Amino acid sequence: MKITVVGASGLIGTRLSEKLRRSGHDVAAASLSLGVDTVTGKGLDVAMVGTEVVVDVTNAASFGDSSAFDFFKASTKNLLAAAAEARVRHYLVESDYFRAKMVQENLIRASGRPYTILRSTQFYEFINGLIDIGADGNVFRLPSAFMRPVAAGDVAAFLAELAAGAPSGDVVEIGGPEQFGIDEIARIYLAANEDERQVITDRSTSYFGVELTDDALIPGAGARVARQTLPDWLYQSMGE
């Protein structure tokens, strides 16, 4: 079938497109760098021609401010309109736990399009950026809220599986196989990179502008459990 991957040049999009092509699907890659602008709608009509499934893995340039809300609102409205025009049978989106993404999810639910929303936990690949939220001179002040980080490759594989199936009309979740406090995972990551800076546990540190409860970033009991562990990912990433 023809599957259009929107955000195809990103961390998940590149992996997903490769997996779908290896499975024999006709993949149309759409991203800003390829001439498709979801915010203005430029190039969407061409990208959607003949599309049966749309997988939206777009992301905003920043989180925690109004620009993220504006991005997801404009982008999702344009994508849904283009999907309706092309009579797309399955709208699949990869989401997460940021408030701005709720705008995206609510628009999809209200659209009347057959959909599946995949919520993923934080990616191993973004641990460095996660740690930076608590940078304070030569130390990191980070909360102890729990998280179950996941490899981008495992998320892409699950998306490929969902894209080949029927729309669920619901939210499904995926998380990593291990649970850590944010402060704990920072210590592990820094030690693996021979970085001697200290991590101080500070519950008052916000997470991209959000004050976290202990379980705010943890998926539900029915979530898909990904396979790659943090030690395995660290070993693999440092060998690249």
Dist CA 52 CA 92 (whole Å):
11
Contact 180, 146 (CB under 8 A): yes
**pLDDT in the model for residue 210:** 75
Our measurement of the distance from residue 138's CA atom to the centroid of its chain's CA atoms, rounded to an integer in Å, reads 30
Tokens of 85: 């025009």
CATH annotation of 2-238 = 3.40.50.720
What does the DSSP assignment read for 126-194? GHHHHHHTTEETTEEEE---EE--B-HHHHHHHHHHHHTS---SSEEEEE-S--EEHHHHHHHHHHHTT
List phi, psi (to 5°) of 172: -120, 160
**pLDDT in the model for residue 39:** 94
Dist CA 70 CA 7 (whole Å):
17
DSSP 8-state code for residue 220: P
Helices within the chain (DSSP H only): 11-22, 44-48, 66-85, 99-110, 127-132, 152-163, 182-192, 230-238
As averages over each run of 10 residues, the pLDDT of the chain (240 residues) reads 96 96 96 94 94 92 68 93 96 75 88 94 92 92 95 97 96 96 96 95 83 86 95 85
**pLDDT in the model for residue 145:** 93
**pLDDT in the model for residue 62:** 60
Q: Where are the domains of the chain?
A: 2-238
Dist CA 65 CA 196 (whole Å):
32
**pLDDT in the model for residue 98:** 58
Tokens of 186: 């920072």
